[in-house]
Amino acid sequence: MLFPEYRPRRMRQTKALRNMIRETRISPSDFIFPLFAVEGKNIKNPIPSMPGQFQLSVENIASMAAEAYKLGIPGIILFGIPNKKDSLGTEAYKKDGIVQKAIKAVKNRVPNITVITDVCLCEYTDHGHCGIVEKGKIDNDSTIDLLADAAVSHARAGADMVAPSDMMDGRVAEIRDRLDDNGFINIPIMAYSAKYHSAYYGPFREAANSAPKFGDRKTYQMDPANAMEAIREANMDVEEGADIIMVKPALSYLDIIYRVKTEIDLPIAAYNVSGEYSMIKAAAKLGFIDGEKVMMETLTSIKRAGADIILTYFAIEAAKKFGA
Ligand code: PBG
Ligand code: ZN
């Protein structure tokens, strides 16, 4: 295809032509909306580093889920912020823990929305690590046992899907096993398979009050410099029984989304994380960028890279642009 016979601009002349040849379309049905549940009643605490996002008590979580569902968003992912933390993250797998209560409130109010739960210990441990600490190290095998407890307790409370975000080895197999043993053969696992050790989680840790009190997460989350390793992680999770493979964060890892999409024959999710949201909000507030346009361009780029599902704090704001 050579100029002057071929002129790419021919097909860009009108809005109708541009629409006709658009290769990537996003819609509210692509989104999963993350929500932060706190104890109490009538609570709606703004998260300072994430303008427009809140810590919500469970009845407000249910209202927000209702709004999302009305806009065409098929699912939410729940994070819990307990009142009490301890070394074993007990509140993560308690029958009436904060997430368990939030699940029930949402399922009562919006039975058809897909309620996904983040399965991890960091919001529930007093040291803030995603696993059990033994002699200053994060112990893998005792952690996956507790993660499976958490997943089963979420399923018992009515969750439709569980999403382990801890990055311990073997946790998908352990969770699949325990869900099946307890009769939850139909609860899918969305695995945070390629989850990188990223500074883009900063605002989330403020929102969830889950920053590690000592050290960092480098012994379990992936080195941002690695790509082949993401394929190994994804393959392991496929073999262990994952139903959806996630890459996280999204923007600095579009190449990883693309590679995983190419190599793995399962649906791929990408997490457009807190720092990615905050940067756009901050730059828009300063008048440096058009926030809405950058939001839509960003979400489109994540889908174009290969994500079938996008977890994003922009879900409601973006969905409103489609006028459901
Ligand atoms: C918990 C978890 C984190 C995120 C999702 N689940 C934080 C972390 O690993 O430190 C990050 C989400 C975001 O930044 O939006 N393991
Ligand atoms: Zn964690």
Ligand nearest to the CA of 248: 1
Distance 20 CA to ligand 1 centre (A): 38
CA 6 to chain centre: 43
**Whole-angstrom distance, CA of residue 323 vs CA of residue 306:** 25
Which ligand approaches the C-alpha of residue 147 most closely?
A: 2
Q: Which of 107, 248, 281, 303 is flagged as catalytic?
A: 248
pLDDT of 323 reads 66
The CB-side HSE value for 110 (13 A sphere, CA atoms) comes to 27
Pocket flag, ligand 1, residue 201 (CB < 6 Å):
yes
CA distance 311 to 100: 21
204 C-alpha to center of ligand 1: Å? 6
Q: Is residue 131 part of a domain?
A: yes
What 3-state DSSP class applies to 1? Answer: coil
Q: Give the residue whose CA is nearest to atom 6 of ligand 1.
A: 165
Domain range holding 186? 24-322
- We report the CATH number of the domain holding residue 54 as 3.20.20.70
Give domain status of residue 40, yes or no.
yes
Can you tell me which residue has the tokens 């290969």? Answer: 306
pLDDT of residue 1: 87
Q: Could you tell me if residue 14 is inside a domain? A: no
For residue 5, tell me if it sits in a domain: no
Q: Is residue 13 part of a domain?
A: no
Instruction: Choose among 99, 208, 118: nearest CA to 158.
Output: 99
Quick check: is 248 catalytic?
A: yes
Query: If you search the block for the tokens 């059990």, which residue do you land on?
Result: 132
With bands split at pLDDT 50, 70 and 90, how would you rate the model's confidence at 35?
very high
> DSSP 3-state assignment of 52?
coil
Regarding the beta carbon of 61 and ligand 1, being less than 6 Å apart is answered no
From ligand 2's centre to the CA of 31, what distance in Å? 22
pTM of the model: 0.98
Ligand 1 atom at minimal distance to the Cα of residue 274: 15
If you measure from the C-alpha of residue 135 to the centroid of ligand 1, how many angstroms do you get, rounded to a whole number?
Answer: 24
For range 244-259, the mean pLDDT: 98
Say yes or no: CB of residue 205 within 6 Å of ligand 1. Answer: yes
- Residue 46 domain-assigned? yes
User: Torsion-angle region of residue 203: left (phi > 0), alpha (psi -120 to 50) or beta?
Assistant: alpha
At 178-197, the pLDDT tens digits run 999 999 999 999 999 999 99
Task: Count up the domains in the chain and report the number.
Answer: 1
Query: How confident is the model over 43-60, as pLDDT tens digits?
Result: 999 999 999 999 999 999
What's 253's DSSP letter? G
Could you tell which of 53, 78, 116, 120 is best to mutate to test the pocket of ligand 1, judged by most ligand atoms within 8 Å of the CB?
Answer: 120
Neighbours of ion ligand 2 (CB under 5 A): 120, 122, 130
Q: Report yes or no: 97 and 119 within 8 Å, Cβ to Cβ.
A: no
What CA–CA distance (Å, rounded) separates 261 from 230?
Answer: 11
15: annotated active-site residue: no
Residue 48 resides in a domain: yes
pLDDT tens digits, one per residue of 211-239: 999 999 999 999 999 999 999 999 999 99
Distance 106 CA to ligand 2 centre (A): 23
Tens-place pLDDT, residues 162-173: 999 999 999 999
H or E element in which residue 195 lies = strand 190-195
